[in-house]
Structure 1
């Protein structure tokens, strides 16, 4: 298991972590080999993604389930709409990647990046790779312009204009008048996933539900709100064209 964590100099930046399952030639053989917020679980159960906090993402790797052709796993971070909003990694204080034993939680290694981050909007932090039958990790820190799209093209994937819609989980929390801190964090996480999957900006979503700025949406998605009302949830669901249960799903 590995965790990617970051500290921001500009709190308005949206960062996303992703993992690319690569063959010996350094490319993905299928679209499903890109694991990110729009495709959080590989079909064969080998890699699973979860955003555990506004500034931390986690990947669980079942090495025994990886396809035989997968020889590397490239770990990356991208800035959402970086070029459009003049955001770059020069506005990120530090990036950390921690390798952990999934069963015990013991930290195996930590790598840090920060001083060399510049104007790029995507970065390959490092890669897991097979060497003489064993998986090892190599820190890289290679930057790209063009965000997630540029990385997908670099790893041999064709990129659609819009990402596929995020499917709702089967189990949902029953509606109530006011949601607590944990439920509000879950709502924010789901709002972010759905919003990005349909190519909507925070500002566009805010305007659709009557806010004058994107700040309330940004705070919700970053997990900074300690409560959230059901009436607000209904407005968000309508604006995103999903059900309230989808935004409440775990």
Structure 2
């Protein structure tokens, strides 16, 4: 049964299922319909949201090798894999997915941060106020949804989101629904928050 989370809520992923080894983090969003301009008006550009993962040691990112994103689809430990970039967010269901092999995550990593940023947000004059129905969900290896966090706040003007984190606490893996919007214009700037 799916647990619906609110911002700031945490849930144990492994308390009820200590044998849980693999999860999938699915992220989805839709564009708010844009008003059509006149006949000669340029067609609005699609909003390209990019999901990424930062693997932290002691709450800090140790280097670029610990970032999993569209340019580095798999962590060197093979414990985290990004399933590929969706350029438009069109269609139902997950737009991007990240697989996490919990049992393979090296002990040094205590947090796995899930972020989403809008590609070229400033150049395209786009922000998360132009996105609706955004969600993050965690699914187990039997394809059962464990939890879902749907964004309900107004993120107008925000160009990046710290969606949530998967973290170890007292031998358990947990998920924290963070929903923190930022004005970071891209992944490079977002990374600086965790250095």
TM range (shorter): 0.7 to 0.9
| 1:77-113 C-alpha deviation (Å, 9 max, x unpaired) | 10011011110001001211111012x1011111100
Q: Secondary structure at the match of 1:83?
A: helix
Cα distance in 1 for residues equivalent to 2:164 and 2:137: 11
Cα distance in 2, alignment partners of residues 35 and 114 from structure 1: 26
d(CA) in 2 for partners of 1:22, 1:52: 22
Q: TM-score with structure 2 length normalisation?
A: 0.74
Q: Distance between the aligned counterparts of 1:76 and 1:120, measured in 2?
A: 13
More helix, by proportion: 1
Find the counterpart in structure 2 of residue 237 from structure 1.
none
1:29 matched to 2:62? The reply is yes
Structure 1 position 2 matched with structure 2 position 5:
no
Cα RMSD of the aligned pairs, angstroms, is 1.5
Question: Gapped runs of 5+ residues in structure 1?
Answer: 157-250
Residues 90 and 117 in structure 1, CA contact (< 8 A), matched pair in contact too: yes
Q: Higher relative contact order by CA 8 Å / sep ≥ 6: 1 or 2?
A: 2
Given that 1:144 and 1:150 are in contact with CA atoms closer than 8 Å, whether structure 2 keeps it comes out as no
- Decide whether the 8 Å contact of 1:92 with 1:114 is kept in 2: no
- Which residue, 113, 117, 122 being the options, matches 2:155? 117
CA distance in 1: counterparts of 2:69 and 2:154, whole angstroms: 25
TM-score when normalising by structure 1:
0.59
